């Protein structure tokens, strides 16, 4: 047995193979693809015999019996005494109870003669039909039989023998069995660090053998597929030329790495017992005899010895090429697991540890809140406040300021129910509001007509040409009818922006999903309460607005005086132009005499036709415009200060602070920050894996 193993172990690859073997022994192969040999082909293609020829391990063969589960051979160099250990790696679909049962299996073999017994035991444990007392169940299993061989002159290498690909389902192998084998083989071949030993039978048309088709799918460039032609002794006489062309890579089916032609021992020879040397001698004698000696075969491509030697060279190149990438993936995996472990937070089995853990998170959350509210985005964590590719950020103060500015501008331009559209057509402005609250664009005349109508319905005991306080109140209340809809929509948008910030801040400080979701629940409850308080405050503000207009802001009287002065100036200007045109022939020239001045004044007065009700309506419009401006600005300021700042922004830091954490009882602490049995197991798993990964990084140095 030592011969074949020793031949594979070259001085060039010894160190690299040792490094890979250490990684595999640490279980890193379950997380990172490691270089390995995989023997694959159709059922009864001679895979097991090829595997025996490469490794020198005599796998049991029986008529009608094929590989039912993956067999992983781990060859390890050890300075200690030789050992052979058989274990089972359960597939992930097993129940926890069955997994535990399979994982407990461990057999130490005295020699390879016990392999047959081991395979029978393992097949029965896996529940495979036909093993032990199993008369039902699947014909194949995804569980892996792992045979670890350690010996002083051994090789560090992993070789896997897979179940043969099935062409058609039959009574013994269902369609599910066919698909199970296909999926299993695909998984192994898809590993980019697998050297595919594609075993094809000389007795079958190679184009019909699935392993060649699969190798082209998973190894498109043909850099890791070796074709191995078996059973040349069973072909029809006269077809040697066809097989020789295939072996020389001259047939229609070609592989970049070419083919090897081997003759496996016959069942009779295996039954009688044959040493490794006898096998090799008989094989070479076969190919040196007619008709094979006339085929011009390349001796480097014929026989298991040539195959074994070539594999050594191929392994050297393959490992040298893949090892740098393995190292990078190892480091990347280690960093990912460190981040995952960090995301779980520090260990916290007791209430005091849970309180400390949550207090630390609260500190980080408050820092983000203060930075967001104060606009100091670069002081704490610039990454959190960074602008994403879509232009969105969690710069809370900047975002709220922008929203408030847009709200103020919108109220200025579209807040009033009726707006005088200078030179524009009348109609409803398309601002997305419902018809009931949409804005109506009207002319100056339409506005005065509307005021006249309201004036007629609000007359009291006042004299003609004047208006009472009811008129201004009704006009104002109609004009502000859009305010509440616009404002509540604005507060809703601001609230959503705050929720986005708070959720992002909690996610940023809490990597653990369970803790994050618990904190979000608590924060959501607080935010909803704040939202309700904001809505109540808003309701009070609009209740005040629906009362009689009041203001002590001098801006109101200033606006009235300014508006009336402009109106008087326009009236005088219009009448003066009319007087000049009609009474003075288009040119006005008067001397500074009482007569000329009186004449001009008389001409102007004669043109003044006062409509007392119209004058009252114009005065009401002036008052309405002046008061509306004051009230609108006051409302916007009140909404920003009393609703948004007071109820939505200012309380943010108290959502999750030290006082909050201090007030939680042990049950609440455990619900939020306690670790479940699953989390504890995950933590221990990550810690153990990280130890192996870190050691694996050390293993690959040098």
* pLDDT tens by residue, 459-508: 777 766 667 778 778 887 887 888 899 999 999 999 999 999 999 999 99
402-429 pLDDT per residue, tens: 999 999 999 988 888 888 876 544 443 4
Flag the least confident range among 179-183, 294-298, 466-470, 698-702. 466-470
Contact 417/440 with Cβ under 8 angstroms? yes
Place of tokens 């509306």: 628
Across 262-284, average pLDDT: 86
Q: What angle do CA 66, 106, 70 make, to 5 degrees?
A: 25
How far apart are alpha carbons 67 and 131 in whole angstroms? 12
Kindly state whether residue 469 falls inside one of the protein's structural domains.
Answer: yes
Across 615-641, average pLDDT: 85
Give 78-94 as a DSSP string.
-SS--EEEEEEE--TTS
- Of 150, 172, 194, the one marking the end of a domain is 172
Kindly state whether residue 477 falls inside one of the protein's structural domains.
Answer: yes
- Tell me the three state secondary structure of residue 145: strand
Burial classification of residue 147, based on how many CB atoms lie within 10 Å of its CB (0-12 exposed, 13-18 middle, 19 or more buried)? buried
Q: Alpha-carbon dihedral of residues 345, 346, 347, 349, nearest 10 degrees?
A: -80
Helix (H) or strand (E) holding 37: strand 36-41
Task: Please count the structural domains in the chain.
Answer: 2
430, pLDDT greater than 60: no
How far apart are alpha carbons 421 and 405 in whole angstroms? 23
Flag the least confident range among 102-111, 400-409, 588-597. 588-597
Kindly state whether residue 224 falls inside one of the protein's structural domains.
Answer: no
Residues pairing with 38 in the sheet: 160, 196
Token pair belonging to 47:
């895979």
Cα distances (angstroms) measured from residue 412 to each of 417, 476, 483, 558, 564? 12, 15, 11, 19, 22
How far apart are alpha carbons 575 and 581 in whole angstroms? 10
DSSP state of 649: I
pLDDT grade for 582, boundaries at 50, 70 and 90:
low
Q: Phi first, then psi: what are they for 578, rounded to 5°?
A: -70, -40
Contact 549/626 with Cβ under 8 angstroms? no
Q: What is the pLDDT of residue 587?
A: 67
The residue that leads in pLDDT, 55 or 396, is: 396
Burial classification of residue 503, based on how many CB atoms lie within 10 Å of its CB (0-12 exposed, 13-18 middle, 19 or more buried)? middle
Place of tokens 């295939």: 246
Across 368-379, average pLDDT: 90
Across 236-241, average pLDDT: 90
Kindly state whether residue 212 falls inside one of the protein's structural domains.
Answer: no
Contact 84/63 with Cβ under 8 angstroms? no
559, pLDDT greater than 50: yes
Flag the least confident range among 236-250, 598-612, 636-650. 598-612
Kindly state whether residue 104 falls inside one of the protein's structural domains.
Answer: yes
- Of 172, 206, 230, the one marking the end of a domain is 172
Contact 50/231 with Cβ under 8 angstroms? no
37, pLDDT greater than 60: yes
Q: What is the pLDDT of residue 428?
A: 39
8-25 pLDDT per residue, tens: 544 556 677 778 877 876
- Tell me the three state secondary structure of residue 419: strand
Q: What is the pLDDT of residue 328?
A: 93
Contact 515/345 with Cβ under 8 angstroms? yes
Q: How many CB atoms lie within 10 A of CB 670?
A: 16
Mean pLDDT of the chain: 83
Name the residue range of residue 468's domain: 353-674
The residue that leads in pLDDT, 365 or 53, is: 365
Q: Phi first, then psi: what are they for 144, rounded to 5°?
A: -110, 130
Contact 98/90 with Cβ under 8 angstroms? yes
- Of 140, 172, 204, the one marking the end of a domain is 172
Give 249-277 as a DSSP string.
T-SSS--TT-EEE--PPPHHHHHH---HH
54-64 pLDDT per residue, tens: 887 887 766 54
Q: What is the pLDDT of residue 425?
A: 44
Burial letters 218-243, b for 16+ CB under 10 A, else e? bbeebebbbbbbbbbeeeeeeebeeb
Residue 401 CA, distance from chain mean position: 31
431, pLDDT greater than 60: no
526, pLDDT greater than 50: yes
562, pLDDT greater than 80: no
Q: What angle do CA 518, 522, 527 make, to 5 degrees?
A: 140
Residue from 613, 611, 636, 618 nearest 475 by CA: 618
Burial letters 384-396, b for 16+ CB under 10 A, else e? bbeeeeeeebbbb
- Tell me the three state secondary structure of residue 203: coil
Helix (H) or strand (E) holding 354: helix 351-374
Place of tokens 């208006």: 467
């Amino acid at each position: 047995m030592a011969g074949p193993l020793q031949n594979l172990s070259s001085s060039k690859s010894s160190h690299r193979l040792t490094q890979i073997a250490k990684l595999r022994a640490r279980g890193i192969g379950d997380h990172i693809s490691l270089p390995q040999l995989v023997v694959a082909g159709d059922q009864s293609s001679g895979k097991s015999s090829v595997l025996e020829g490469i490794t020198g391990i005599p796998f049991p063969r029986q008529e009608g019996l094929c590989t039912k589960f993956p067999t992983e051979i781990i060859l390890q160099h050890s300075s200690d005494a030789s050992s052979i250990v058989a274990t089972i790696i359960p597939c992930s679909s097993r129940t926890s109870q069955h997994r535990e049962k399979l994982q407990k299996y461990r057999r130490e073999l005295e020699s390879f003669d016990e392999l047959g017994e081991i395979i029978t035991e393992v097949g029965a444990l896996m529940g495979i039909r036909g093993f032990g007392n199993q008369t039902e169940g699947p014909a194949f299993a995804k569980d892996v039989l792992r045979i670890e061989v350690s010996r002083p002159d051994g090789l560090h290498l992993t070789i896997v023998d897979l179940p043969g690909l099935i062409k058609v389902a039959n009574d013994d192998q269902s369609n599910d069995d066919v698909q199970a084998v296909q999926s299993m083989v695909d998984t192994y071949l898809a590993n980019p660090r697998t050297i595919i030993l594609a075993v094809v039978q000389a007795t079958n048309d190679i184009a019909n053998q699935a392993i060649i088709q699969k190798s082209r799918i998973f190894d498109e460039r043909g850099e890791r597929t070796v074709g191995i032609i078996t059973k040349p002794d069973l072909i029809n006489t006269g077809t040697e030329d066809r097989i020789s062309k295939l072996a020389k890579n001259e047939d229609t089916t070609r592989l970049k790495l070419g083919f090897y032609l081997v003759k496996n021992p016959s069942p009779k020879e295996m039954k009688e017992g044959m040493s490794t040397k006898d096998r090799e001698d008989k094989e070479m004698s076969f190919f040196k005899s007619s008709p094979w000696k006339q085929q011009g075969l390349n001796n480097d491509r014929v026989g298991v010895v040539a195959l074994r030697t070539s594999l050594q060279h191929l392994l050297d190149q393959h490992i040298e090429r893949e090892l740098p990438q393995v190292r990078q993936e190892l480091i990347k995996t280690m960093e990912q697991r460190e981040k995952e472990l960090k995301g779980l937070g520090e260990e916290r089995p007791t209430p005091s540890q849970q309180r400390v853990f949550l207090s630390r998170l609260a500190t980080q959350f408050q820092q983000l809140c203060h930075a967001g509210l104060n606009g100091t985005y670069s002081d704490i964590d610039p990454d959190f406040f960074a602008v994403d590719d879509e232009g969105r950020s969690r710069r809370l103060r900047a975002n709220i300021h922008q929203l408030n500015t847009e709200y103020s501008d919108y109220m200025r331009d579209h807040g009033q129910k009726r707006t005088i559209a200078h030179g524009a057509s009348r109609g409803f402005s398309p601002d997305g509001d419902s018809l009931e609250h949409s804005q109506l664009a009207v002319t100056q005349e339409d506005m005065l007509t509307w005021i006249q109508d309201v004036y007629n319905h609000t007359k009291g005991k006042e004299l003609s040409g004047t208006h009472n306080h009811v008129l201004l109140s009704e006009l104002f209340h109609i004009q502000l009818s859009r305010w509440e809809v616009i404002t509540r929509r604005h507060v809703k948008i601001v609230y959503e922006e705050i929720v986005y910030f708070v959720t992002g801040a909690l996610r940023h400080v809490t990597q653990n999903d369970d803790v994050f979701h618990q904190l979000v629940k608590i924060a959501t409850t607080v935010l909803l309460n704040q939202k309700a308080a904001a809505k109540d405050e808003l309701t009070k503000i609009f209740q005040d607005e629906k009362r009689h207009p009041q203001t002590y802001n001098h801006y109101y009287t200033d606006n009235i005086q300014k508006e009336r002065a402009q109106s008087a100036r326009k009236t005088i200007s219009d009448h003066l132009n009319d007087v000049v045109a009609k009474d003075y022939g288009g040119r006005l020239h008067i001397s500074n005499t009482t007569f000329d001045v009186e004449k001009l004044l008389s001409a102007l007065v004669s043109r003044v036709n006062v409509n007392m009700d119209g004058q009252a309506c114009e005065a009401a419009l002036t008052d309405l415009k002046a008061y509306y401006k004051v009230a609108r600005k006051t409302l916007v300021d009140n909404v920003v200060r009393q609703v948004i700042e007071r109820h939505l922004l200012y309380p943010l830091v108290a959502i999750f602070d030290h006082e909050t954490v201090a007030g939680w009882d042990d049950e609440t602490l455990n619900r939020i920050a306690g670790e479940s049995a699953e989390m504890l197991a995950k933590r221990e798993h990550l810690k153990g894996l990280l130890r192996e990964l870190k050691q694996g990084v050390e293993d690959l140095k040098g």
